[in-house]
Amino acid sequence: MLKVNFNDSWTMKDLQTKKEFDVKLPASVMNALLDAKEIDDPFYRDNEDQALEVAKKDYLFYKTFEVDQTLLTHEEITITFHGIDTISEISLNGHRLATTENMHRIYEWNVKPFLVEGENVIQVMLFSPLKYIEEKQANDRLAGVHHAVDGYQHVRKAHSMYGWDWGPKIPDLGLWRDVELKAWNDNRLEDIHIRQIHESNQVQVMVDVTVENEVDKNETTILLKDPDGHTVSHEIVHQQQTEQVLFEIENPQRWWPAGYGEQSLYTVEVLLKKDGEQIDSLIKRIGLRTIEVKHEADEWGKSFEFIVNGYPIFMKGANYIPEDNLLPRTSKERTERLIQDSVAAHFNMIRVWGGGHYPEDYFYDLCDQYGIVVWQDFMYACSVYRLTDQFEQNVRQEAIDQIKRIRYHASLGIWCGNNEVEEAMEHWGWPKKADWRRDYIKLFEIILPEIVAEYDPQTFYWSSSPSSGGGFDAPRDPNIGDVHYWEVWHGQKPFTDYRNYYFRFCSEFGFQSFPSMKTIESFTKPEDRNIFSRVMEKHQKNDDANGMILYYLSENFLYPKNFDALLYTSQLLQAEAIKYGVEHWRRNLGRCMGSLYWQLNDCWPVASWSSLDYYGRWKALHYYTKKFYDPILLSIEEGEKDASIYVTNDHLEAINGRIEWKLRDNQSNIIREDRLDIDVDALSAKSCQYLDFADLINNETKYQTYLEATLYIDGQVYSSTTVIFAKTKHFEFLNPQLRVTVAESDEQFLISVSATSYTKYVELQLEQDVVLSDNFFDLSANEPKIVTIDKNNLTQSLTKADLEKTLNIRSVYHITH
Ligand code: BMA
């Protein structure tokens, strides 16, 4: 098979101005105009509005290319578009090949009849994605979210490109994935489907290979290589279109989620030969593992529990949205950093949320490699869909394209029909129209599960998130299935409300914060730097959420002294809120089996629920996540005058160690202390000690008293944590007189931080973007903490002198001082 990459030398033409721009795929209209300086950065200030105007017009992409006689002699010649965004008409040398209206599909067309020797031209007319939905919505008004351009659900294009409660309205147009020309004779590999059967010490790998034509002389070789590269092979001579081979692997090296074992990957390689000559090939990397979802009645309701290689695993992660509103700006490097930062924060799962697009192949490769289980939504979110015959045919093919593309990945853990459609139709006050409900059931509870059962029978299908199992049967039930819990934040309930629930799996909950000053500087002028300014409000898409942040602030913190202190405090609120929920659910491991906070990342610089901002900068929440998702979690459930110390153990083996606790005053003087030896079984949580301080905490002392606990494993400090018994705003923090000294080794900078009194949320800030070993931590007086920076992870050079010069430090005390 001859494959020619067709990404180079395209022209994008603005049909109104007649201007032309050279582009390389993946390419989009906005990105091309931006590169040519025809439009201003759509993410800067309020430029988003200009960008929306751009999407009101039609554009042409074309490419001229030479074809020689050798190519034309092939029996079959096709062109494959891996992603067209979205409403298009494709023609080759003036012959119309097709029209498209689905960015989530992979299109391949036969071009042999239209190619000529010499110069050829392929044209893609892209029609405005705004005009299209306007007309459809006028004819058939469907319910959805009000943050997006009205009618967005009529087209199979990432919904969030039309705006979301964290995203700008920039419905770009373009060729967002590769284009390739393929030419072959006789036959080609059409498909490969891999399944696994696991027994205690043996795995059978079944490989179904399908070729396009039934030709008995074709010979296929199927190789399986173990993670060390040793090959086992099978050869078959084709009699039928689909042939199956079976590999039996003794003592398999299994694939595990991050934190549980190795991410061993085997390779399946298929070679198609004719008369001894190789004519096509395919390579897939697979992991040997089982992932099941247990959804069974039990003493609390009905579980929702991932079982990996036979072990019930508490899933820890967050929800993933598209990484950039301008799709050509995404890259493997950016995604790899995101995945690395997720693993650094002890994630073992990422949920690909249904309002965006299906990620690139490299996203899944990276998840395979780093051990992140993928919760994969089909791309439907928060809306009603009209299942016309044409829509149905379109989305059936979309599901088949995507399932075939993704199904072999070790990381794929679950297919989920949609995001919040079932709950929206039941609980969001939309009219309960019979035809809407019928179409819902047909698409998400009949068609998609049937397609999954046919093309990927080994992966669990769940009709909606959240759901109790479907059929509009109490999708919000806290004791059945998965839950999206938004009473903290949207419902303005206090953080403590999380403790009223023991969800079986909390697949969404979240709390907003502002990004850091540096990120805000990237899209504002100095005069914009007030959270209620026009520009800051433009970068806050959740209606009155800035007011919401201030409301929660008033409940918890003192009024910040300036804009920067407000940004900092908003991040502390966010980190505390999510920690409050997660620690509680992890203390109830067994009953609750997963926590995916909303949201991991941003698609532009904005105030949002993310823990990593658009530039990948770690907010306080991401540092907190690294601690509250640690496989061994030490946590304190504090009451008004008492506390329970817990240890949660996610390891497959029991652990033992020692806890030391100290009740201290605000100068860190010890009021009472003790220690205890602990052992905690594998995959369990344990309340190790209950402490009653009724004799010590009263209306005066409660503003000056904190409890500190430290966990020792193998005699070393593993982690430590503190809690206070009053609201942070009322606690009498003294000036901690923070001091830092910097030392260095070949590998690291070591920053020693100390305080003269108890302080919380110590943040080290550097001019250069760096990830620190810890940040936003608590300090007791005269007990220095060493924070490290790994020199290998620096993106620019950094000397000890630079570091000392640009290092800034603050803590809770500095919110007001
Ligand atoms: C959930 C998500 C998103 C939304 C988020 C924050 O409903 O599914 O639709 O962005 O909450 O409101």
Q: How far does the centroid of ligand 1 lie from the alpha carbon of residue 788, in Å? A: 35
- Residues 624, 637: one domain? no
Same domain, 150 and 165: yes
Q: How far apart are CA 756 and CA 814, in angstroms?
A: 14
Question: Is the minimum distance from the CB of 385 to ligand 1 under 6 angstroms?
Answer: no
Nearest-CA residue for atom 1 of ligand 1: 508
Does 515 share its domain with 560? Answer: yes
Alpha helix (H) residue ranges in 445-524: 448-455, 517-521
| 740 token code pair | 């830092």
What is the residue range of 564's domain? 314-323+338-351+484-629
* 528 touches ligand 1 (CB under 6 Å): no
Q: Provide the 10 A C-beta neighbour count for residue 688.
A: 20
pLDDT given at position 551: 98
170-208: per-residue pLDDT in tens? 999 999 999 999 999 999 999 999 999 999 899 999 999
Q: Is 352 in the pocket of ligand 1 (CB under 6 A)?
A: no
Residue 433, number of CB atoms within 10 A of its CB:
13
Give every CB contact of residue 16 below 8 A, 6+ residues apart in sequence: 57
The DSSP annotation for 170-206 comes to ----EE-S-EEEEEESS--EEEEEEEEEEETTEEEEE
Residue 478 lies in a domain: no
Task: Report helix angle 563-587 to 545-556, nearest 10.
Answer: 80
> 638 and 619 share a domain?
no
Please report, for the domain that includes residue 77, its CATH number.
2.60.120.260
DSSP structure class, residue 61: E
Q: Which of 398, 188, 378, 145 is nearest to 279 (CA)?
A: 188
Choose one of 183, 214, 232: the last residue of a domain: 183
In a domain, 214, yes or no: yes
Same domain, 121 and 168: yes
Residues 720 and 756 in one domain: no
pLDDT digits (tens, 9 = 90+) for 503-546: 999 999 999 999 999 999 999 999 999 999 999 999 999 998 99
Q: Which residue puts its alpha carbon closest to atom 6 of ligand 1?
A: 165
Q: Are residues 138 and 28 in the same domain?
A: yes
Shortest-distance atom of ligand 1 to CA 508: 1
Position in ligand 1 atom list of the atom nearest CA 609: 6
Rg (CA), the chain: 28
How many residues make up the chain in this entry?
817
pTM above 0.75, yes or no: yes
Which pLDDT score is estimated for 199? Answer: 93
What's the CATH number where 725 sits?
2.60.40.10
353 Cα nearest atom in ligand 1? 8
List 90's β-bridge partners, or say none: 98, 124
Percentage of the chain surpassing pLDDT 70? Answer: 100
Q: How many angstroms separate the CA atoms of 431 and 81, rounded? A: 39
Domain closes at, from 688, 708, 732: 732
Residues 759 and 811 in one domain: yes
723 and 802 part of one domain: no
* Choice from 508, 511, 513 to test ligand 1 binding pocket (greatest atom count within 8 A of CB): 508
Range 754-763 average pLDDT: 98
Q: Residue 812: which of 564, 572, 551 has the closest Cα? A: 572
- Domain membership of residue 681 (yes or no) is yes
The protein residue whose alpha carbon is closest to atom 4 in ligand 1 is 165
Structural domain includes residue 293: no
Q: Tens digit of pLDDT for each residue in 287-346?
A: 999 999 999 999 999 999 999 999 999 999 999 999 999 999 999 999 999 999 999 999
Q: Is 420's pLDDT higher than 80?
A: yes
Identify whether residues 114 and 218 lie together within a single domain. Answer: no
Predicted confidence (pLDDT) per residue in 500-511, tens digit? 999 999 999 999
Count of domains forming the chain: 5
In a domain? residue 562: yes
Max intra-chain CA distance, the chain: 94
Q: Residue 529 belongs to a domain with what CATH number?
A: 3.20.20.80
Q: How far is the CA of 424 from the centre of ligand 1 (A)?
A: 11
Single out the residue in 629, 658, 688 at which a domain terminates: 629
Range list of β-strands (E), 353-493: 373-377, 412-416, 460-462, 483-484
Angle, CA of 807, 811 and 816, to the nearest 5°: 115
Q: Is residue 301 part of a domain?
A: no
- Residue 459 forms part of a structural domain: no
Query: pLDDT tens digits, residue range 350-400?
Result: 999 999 999 999 999 999 999 999 999 999 999 999 999 999 999 999 999
Residue 534 φ then ψ, to 5°: -60, -45
pLDDT of residue 237: 79
Closest CA to 111 of 87, 125, 89, 91: 91
- For residue 231, is it within any domain? yes
Please state the atom number of ligand 1 nearest to the C-alpha of residue 145.
Answer: 9
Considering the domain architecture, whether residues 192 and 48 belong to the same structural domain is answered as: no
Query: Is the pLDDT reported for residue 115 higher than 80?
Result: yes
Q: Do 664 and 599 share a structural domain?
A: no
Q: Is 339 in the pocket of ligand 1 (CB under 6 A)?
A: no
Helix (H, G, I), strand (E, B) or coil at 619: coil
| pLDDT score at 215 | 76
